[in-house]
């Protein structure tokens, strides 16, 4: 499978260097594929799709189940590779690899639900609805959770009988390539899953502009999502967009403060703050603000920053230099304009071993004004602004005053407060007394500038199937 695109891309001789974000060292090199590589991959995927579609959905699911088994036997090696290319600590990388295997197993378990339906019609006879695959699907993946998001997109498409062409992020293609190989070893026919490495503006743009796609699923920045949406729209290709977020975490006056502070630390600093549904703004009831921020800062101070492959490291570097530079610029602008009070962090950590990597300290800024860049844009790194609110209504008003609407959480001991907030928050998912957990059984996606469409959950197959109604005269 990959031989094909490697040969195609190698003709141009161009490669993409994958760099370890903790050390700046070279982890690997992949072909810089472009239009030609994408066109070749789509052709191969098209040729392979019919045979795959003939298999029973349960059989297709079984292949994913076997893929999960193989992935689990290689968890440590895959996690080490993921840490090396992405930067996250090994513990988080293992979680992601296991999360990927969980998703494969989940789609194996629900594969039997891919089926049509039969409708007796009293006056006409009988109708039945066939569920057919849409053909070749495209999947464009970001670098923050490359393996998990790969599984979210690829699994429902494959179980539905489609073939898939994947474009991983340029900085994190390596673990994805390994996992795709394991899925082939599990019995996925050659050609059904294609991975094309290359930059977003060449390979990504070419995939988004492919008119023959049955569906394209994109996860990434909202700005890129708009471009992708325009490109697929020109060809009438249906699209799912999972875009940026600025999740609010509301801490009510009756919340368990210690649990909320721990939730904020995990929710913000997991993956060095580079999670679409990370806690990006804390809105705390003014009556408990002092107590909450004190515990929050104590817990944050305990995070060990360093090379994720080292034991005991709680937070690795950002994935790439531009991402780290964006955070530096944002924080400098915010602090020099006197926006907020810096409670901890606020810069690149001191020490020679931080110099070659893309590190930034876990940072907390309190009393951030509503028009600050930290609240108006998606902060994709380890910076947590804390704002206080007079009451729940005020907190919900602040939470909803964002162009984004991906996730949100409310922390309270009162079920009525939880339910009121959940119904009033503009978000695709609301957690109560937790933040971040996303099992594959639940639908996931955003509203407003956070995207359209849902992944996972019971509707996960919908974008990947088309209905054909057959009416038979009695
Ligand atoms: P980008 O939008 O920069 O990149 C995402 C993917 O799109 C990459 O594979 C990239 O390739 C590719 N790409 C870039 N430009 C184009 C283009 N013009 N046409 C087609 N493809 C293109 O996002 P990041 O990788 O920086 O990821 C971070 C963003 O993703 C954040 O905003 C985050 O919130 C969001 N995200 C959303 C999630 C959700 O489910 N809602 C989940 C995870 C992340 P290349 O790497 O080569 O540039």
Active site residue 298: no
Q: Is 247 in the pocket of ligand 1 (CB under 6 A)?
A: no
Residues 156, 172, single domain; the answer is yes
Whether pLDDT at 9 is above 60: no
Residues 361, 455, single domain; the answer is no
Work out the pLDDT band at 5, boundaries 50, 70, 90.
Answer: very low
- Minimal-distance CA residue to ligand 1 atom 6: 142
> Would you state the structure tokens that stand for residue 122, as one six-digit string?
């009293």
Q: What pLDDT score was predicted for residue 123?
A: 84
Residues 182, 295, single domain; the answer is no
Work out the pLDDT band at 138, boundaries 50, 70, 90.
Answer: very high
Ligand 1 centroid–CA 170 distance in Å is 10
Report the atom number in ligand 1 closest to the C-alpha of 223. 2
pLDDT tens digits, residue range 83-119? 999 999 999 999 999 999 999 999 999 999 999 999 9
Residues 411, 432, single domain; the answer is yes
Residues 140, 262, single domain; the answer is no
Work out the pLDDT band at 124, boundaries 50, 70, 90.
Answer: confident
Residues 162, 289, single domain; the answer is no
**In the chain, pLDDT over 70 holds for what percent of residues?**
97
Q: Is 407 in the pocket of ligand 1 (CB under 6 A)?
A: no
Residue 445 in domain = no
CATH code of 416's domain:
3.40.309.10
Choose one of 221, 379, 442 to mutate for the ligand 1 pocket test, by most ligand atoms within 8 angstroms of C-beta.
221
Residues 88, 233, single domain; the answer is yes
Residues 307, 178, single domain; the answer is no
> Would you state the structure tokens that stand for residue 47, as one six-digit string?
């040729």
Work out the pLDDT band at 122, boundaries 50, 70, 90.
Answer: confident
Q: Is 21 in the pocket of ligand 1 (CB under 6 A)?
A: no
Residue 444 in domain = no
Secondary structure string (H, E, C) spanning the chain: CHHHHHHHHHCCCCEEEEECCCCCCEEEEEECCCHHHHHHHHHHHHHHHHHHHHCCHHHHHHHHHHHHHHHHHCHHHHHHHHHHHHCCCHHHHHHHHHHHHHHHHHHHHCHHHCCCEEEEECCCEEEEEEEEECCEEEEECCCCCHHHHHHHHHHHHHHCCCEEEEECCCCCCHHHHHHHHHHHHCCCCCCCEEECCCCHHHHHHHHHCCCCCCEEEEECCHHHHHHHHHHHHHCCCCEEEECCCCCEEEECCCCCHHHHHHHHHHHHHHHHHCCCCCCCEEEEEHHHHHHHHHHHHHHHHCCCECCCCCCCCCECCCCCHHHHHHHHHHHHHHHHCCCCEEEECCCCCCCHHHCCCCCCCCEEEECCCCCCHHHHCCCCCCEEEEEEECCHHHHHHHHHCCCEECEEEEECCCHHHHHHHHHHCCCCEEEECCCCCCCCCCCECCEECCEECCECCCCCCHHHEEEEEEEEEC
Residues 161, 304, single domain; the answer is no
Residues 318, 411, single domain; the answer is yes
Work out the pLDDT band at 474, boundaries 50, 70, 90.
Answer: confident
Active site residue 276: yes
User: What sign for the dihedral angle of Cα 104, 106, 108, 111?
Assistant: negative
| Average pLDDT along the chain | 96
> Would you state the structure tokens that stand for residue 93, as one six-digit string?
């990388």
Ligand 1 centroid–CA 124 distance in Å is 50
Ligand 1 centroid–CA 86 distance in Å is 14
> Would you state the structure tokens that stand for residue 175, as one six-digit string?
């673990």
> Would you state the structure tokens that stand for residue 167, as one six-digit string?
């474009």
Work out the pLDDT band at 352, boundaries 50, 70, 90.
Answer: confident
Mean pLDDT of 467-472: 97
Q: What pLDDT score was predicted for residue 353?
A: 84
Stated pTM of the model: 0.96
Residue 172 in domain = yes
What Cα–Cα distance (Å) separates residue 314 from each residue in 92, 265, 410?
9, 11, 25
Q: Is 224 in the pocket of ligand 1 (CB under 6 A)?
A: yes
pLDDT tens digits, residue range 292-320? 999 999 999 999 999 999 999 999 999 99
Residue 9 in domain = yes
Residue 71 in domain = yes
Domain limits at 113?
Answer: 2-243+450-472
Domains in the chain: how many in total?
A: 2
Residue 117 in domain = yes
CATH code of 465's domain:
3.40.605.10
Residues 256, 366, single domain; the answer is yes
- Tracing tokens 């940072």 back to the chain, one arrives at 363
Whether pLDDT at 6 is above 50: no
pLDDT tens digits, residue range 41-75? 999 999 999 999 999 999 999 999 999 999 999 99
CB contact at 8 A, 45 and 163: yes
Ligand 1 centroid–CA 223 distance in Å is 9
Characterize the bridge pairing of strands 136-140 and 215-219.
parallel
Residues 291, 356, single domain; the answer is yes
């Amino acid at each position: 499978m990959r031989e094909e695109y490697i040969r195609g891309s190698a003709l141009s001789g161009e490669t993409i260097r994958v760099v370890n974000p903790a050390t700046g060292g070279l982890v690997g090199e992949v072909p810089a594929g472009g239009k030609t590589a994408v066109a070749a991959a789509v052709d191969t995927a098209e040729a392979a799709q019919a045979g795959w579609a003939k298999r029973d959905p349960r059989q297709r699911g079984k292949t994913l189940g076997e893929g999960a088994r193989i992935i689990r036997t290689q968890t440590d090696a895959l996690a080490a590779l993921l840490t090396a290319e992405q930067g996250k600590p090994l513990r988080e990388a293992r979680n992601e690899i296991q999360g990927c295997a969980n998703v494969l197993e989940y789609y194996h378990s629900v594969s039997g639900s891919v089926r049509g339906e039969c409708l007796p019609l009293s006056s006409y006879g009988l109708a039945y609805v066939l569920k057919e695959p849409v053909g070749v699907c495209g999947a464009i993946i970001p670098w923050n959770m490359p393996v998990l998001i790969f599984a979210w997109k690829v699994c429902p498409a494959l179980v539905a009988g489609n073939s898939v062409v994947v474009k991983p992020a340029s900085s994190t293609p390596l673990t994805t390539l390994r996992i795709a190989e394991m899925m082939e070893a599990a019995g996925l026919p050659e050609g059904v899953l294609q991975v094309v490495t290359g930059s977003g503006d060449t390979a990504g743009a070419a995939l988004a502009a492919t008119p023959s796609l049955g569906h394209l699923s994109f996860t990434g920045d909202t700005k890129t999502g708009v471009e992708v949406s325009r490109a697929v729209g020109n060809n009438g290709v249906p699209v799912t967009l999972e875009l940026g977020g600025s999740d609010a975490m509301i801490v009510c006056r009756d919340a368990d403060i210690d649990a909320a502070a721990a939730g904020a630390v995990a929710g913000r600093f997991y993956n060095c703050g580079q999670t679409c549904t990370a806690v990006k703004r804390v809105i705390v009831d003014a009556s408990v603000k002092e107590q909450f921020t004190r515990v929050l800062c104590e817990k944050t101070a305990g995070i060990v920053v360093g090379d994720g492959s080292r034991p005991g490291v709680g937070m690795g570097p950002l994935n790439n230099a531009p991402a780290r530079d964006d955070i530096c610029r944002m924080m400098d602008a915010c602090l020099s304009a006197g926006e907020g009070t810096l409670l901890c962090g606020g810069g690149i950590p001191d020490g020679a071993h931080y110099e070659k990597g893309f590190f930034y300290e876990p940072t907390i800024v309190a009393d951030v004004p509503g028009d600050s860049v930290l609240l108006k844009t998606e902060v994709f790194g380890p910076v947590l602004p804390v704002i206080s609110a007079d009451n729940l209504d005020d907190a919900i008003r602040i939470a909803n005053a964002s162009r984004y609407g991906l996730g949100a959480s409310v922390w309270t001991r009162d079920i009525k407060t939880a339910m009121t907030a959940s119904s009033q928050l503009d978000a695709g998912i609301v957690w109560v007394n937790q933040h971040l957990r996303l099992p594959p059984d639940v639908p996931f996606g955003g509203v407003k500038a956070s995207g359209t469409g849902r992944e996972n959950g019971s509707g996960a197959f919908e974008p990947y199937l088309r209905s054909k109604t057959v009416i038979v005269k009695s």
